[in-house]
Amino acid sequence: MINKEGLVDLVESDSVALTLFTRLSKRKRNAGVTTVPQVMKLTGQTRREWVILLLKQMDALGLGKFVVGRGGYESRFEWSVKMTMAAAAALKLEDFDVADLSDWDLEPEEADITFSDEDVDVEDGHLRHSFHLRKGLTPIVFELPSDLSPAEAARLARFVRSLPYDAEAEPI
């Protein structure tokens, strides 16, 4: 059974999950398999272990099965539902009735499709990211180089920490 509430919570609390499902929501085709390197490229995440943790969380939510790579095969996520439907539900783009899962099931021809690198939306070496700062606020959208280095990420983090804020404001 798919845990829709858990899926929404995952996307609201994890920026990598948000990026992944935002990208999947723009897809026109579903795929039955997505590898760890493909998710890393799609999300811009450079830490393999974080992507694996995300895929294991998706497994626990009932979206498919995380499979550890062996014998030259990449670790991967085998979808048991349509990735586009999961993305729409995760992002609350439509009000899905999770009890009616017939629309969520992969078609037989989709189960054999492997996620293609051509499906990754990389323009001019940049990846588009969106970040939900808080509920009720439009997501912040920005583009970063697809090969963002740790030093550049640290520099960006220093910039964000330097932004003025109201020290007396109540935390949310």
The b-or-e profile of 61-94 (16+ CB within 10 A means b, else e) is: bbbbebbeeeeeeebbbbbbbbbbbbbbbbbeee
| 167 belongs to a structural domain | no
Q: Which range of residues forms the domain containing residue 100?
A: 4-119
β-strands 64-67, 76-79 pairing: antiparallel
Number of domains in the chain: 1
| 138 belongs to a structural domain | no
CATH no. for residue 16? 1.10.10
Q: How many CB atoms lie within 10 A of CB 119?
A: 16
pLDDT digits (tens, 9 = 90+) for 130-162: 666 777 777 777 777 877 788 888 888 888 888
Is the CB of residue 113 less than 8 Å from the CB of residue 32? Answer: yes
pLDDT of residue 172: 54
pLDDT digits (tens, 9 = 90+) for 57-71: 999 999 999 999 988
Confidence at 113, pLDDT banded by 50, 70, 90:
very low
| 80 belongs to a structural domain | yes
| 28 belongs to a structural domain | yes
